[in-house]
Structures are given as structure tokens and as C-alpha cells.
Amino acid sequence: MEKNGEDIAIIGIGCNFPGGEGIDNFWKVLLQGRNCVVDIPPNRFDTTFWYNTDGNKAGKMITKRASLIEGFNEFDHNLFDIRQIEANSMDPQHKLLLECTYKVFENAGIPMEEISGSKTGVFIGLMNRDYEGISNNFAKNITHYNGTGSAMSIAANRISFAFNLTGPSLAIDTACSSSLVALHYAAQAIKQAMLT
């Protein structure tokens, strides 16, 4: 049980889920009990090529359905002062994290000028490295942006840099518990800061 004076408040939320962007849409999906799994559209990838009912067939998959985020490839690189050539090499997770962070400050009513230069920490839990594996598979496509574009450590650091946040900046990978451990570290950092 928390001691008095150790409560931590959530003052802003930014999120994007299959079924809609934002916390309001997330709650609607939950309240309606909607299943947001859909047939994978051709603009994502060709399921007629990849799909096969034989689960042992190498290089194939046994599903044609997925939970997908809309507009996953509509990143406004100019908003974050990122050049197009760099944005082309960025893991979609980095892009979503930047967009959601912007929405957090917007939702909280915190102007960017007020947050800039503050000792705000960034604690991100993530574990999937699909984009890194795919993008680094072809030597001719590798540029000096691949490292910063796909490294998990850079996901948190990119947020700190984009918003000029000077607190701790950590990307935490503890498999399925990554987000929970990141939340724990963030709470501990806030409590530690209150003691100093």
C-alpha cells in the first residue's frame, strides 16, 4: 500500500490502438467488446503470396488476419524536425512513440515551450525488433541512419532529443513485462526526484 505523499498522477495520455486513435476510441472498443482483427489489406502485404495452410511450410504464414493501426505510415517528419531520408530508416515504433508523446503533452495541456529543457524522464518498454531485422537484411539498403533508425535504445533517446527533455532516457526490454518494468522505473525515478 502506498504511503501518504507517494501517489503518482497520470496527467496526459496519448495512444494509438487497432480500432482507433486516442483513449476515447480505446474505451469504446473495450466497452463494445469489439474484435479489431481484420483481413490484412493488400496495401500492407500480399497474403495470397505469404499465406499457406501448411504450418510447416518455410517462409509462409498460416493467417490472413491481423490487428492493424490505421495511418501507420503517415508520419509527419517535419513536425519533429527529422529529415525525410532519416524518417525513411526509422522503425515504425519510433514514429508512433514520437506521435503519442506529442499527444500526451497536448492532452495534458502542456505547451512544448514549457516542457523543453525540463528534467522530464522517458521510460519506454518495448521488445519487438522486426523492423531492424528486415531493414538490415539487404546490404544495399543500409545507410548510416539504420543504426539510429532501428536501435531499441534510440526509441527513448529520440523522444528526449525531439522534445529537449533532460531527465533519464531508457528503453527497457524485459520481454512481455517491458512496459510494466518501464512504468516501475519511471515511478521510482519520480519518487527519487521528490527526495532530492
Q: Would you say 167 and 122 are in contact if contact means Cβ atoms under 8 Å apart?
A: yes
Q: Of the given ranges (8-12, 113-117, 132-136, 152-156), which has the lowest mean pLDDT?
A: 132-136
Whether residue 117 is contained in a domain is answered as yes
| Shared-domain flag, residues 26 and 110 | no
| Shared-domain flag, residues 187 and 92 | yes
Average pLDDT, the chain: 89
Domain, as residue range, for 194: 83-196
pLDDT for res 4: 61
State the pairing for strand pair 122-125/169-172.
Answer: parallel
| Shared-domain flag, residues 90 and 170 | yes
Cα(31)–Cα(129) distance, integer angstroms: 32
Q: Which long-range contacts (CB under 8 A, 24 or more apart) does 58-65 make?
A: 64/39, 64/40, 65/37, 65/38, 65/39, 65/40
| Shared-domain flag, residues 105 and 24 | no
Whether residue 30 is contained in a domain is answered as yes
The grid coordinates of residue 47 equal: 497474403
| Shared-domain flag, residues 87 and 173 | yes
pLDDT surpassing 70 at residue 16? yes
pLDDT surpassing 90 at residue 139? no
In this structure, what CATH number is given to the domain that contains residue 133?
A: 3.40.47.10
pTM beyond cutoff 0.75: yes
Whether residue 78 is contained in a domain is answered as no
pLDDT surpassing 90 at residue 196? no
Q: What is the DSSP letter of 169?
A: E
pLDDT surpassing 80 at residue 131? no
The grid coordinates of residue 137 equal: 537484411
| Shared-domain flag, residues 97 and 189 | yes
Q: How far is CA 112 from the centre of its chain?
A: 20
Whether residue 6 is contained in a domain is answered as no
Q: Which residue has the higher pLDDT, 72 or 17?
A: 17
pLDDT tens string 153-179? 899 999 999 999 999 999 999 999 999
Q: Which of 35, 53, 72 is the last residue of a domain?
A: 72
As to burial, measured by CB atoms within 10 angstroms (0-12 exposed, 13-18 middle, 19+ buried), residue 59 is exposed
pLDDT for res 5: 63
The count of structural domains within the chain is 2
**The CA-based dihedral angle spanning residues 141, 145, 147, 151, taken in that order and rounded to the nearest 10 degrees:** -110
pLDDT tens string 23-66? 899 899 999 999 999 999 998 889 999 999 998 999 999 999 99
Whether residue 101 is contained in a domain is answered as yes
| Shared-domain flag, residues 136 and 191 | yes
Terminal-to-terminal C-alpha distance of the chain: 23
Q: How many residues does the chain have?
A: 196
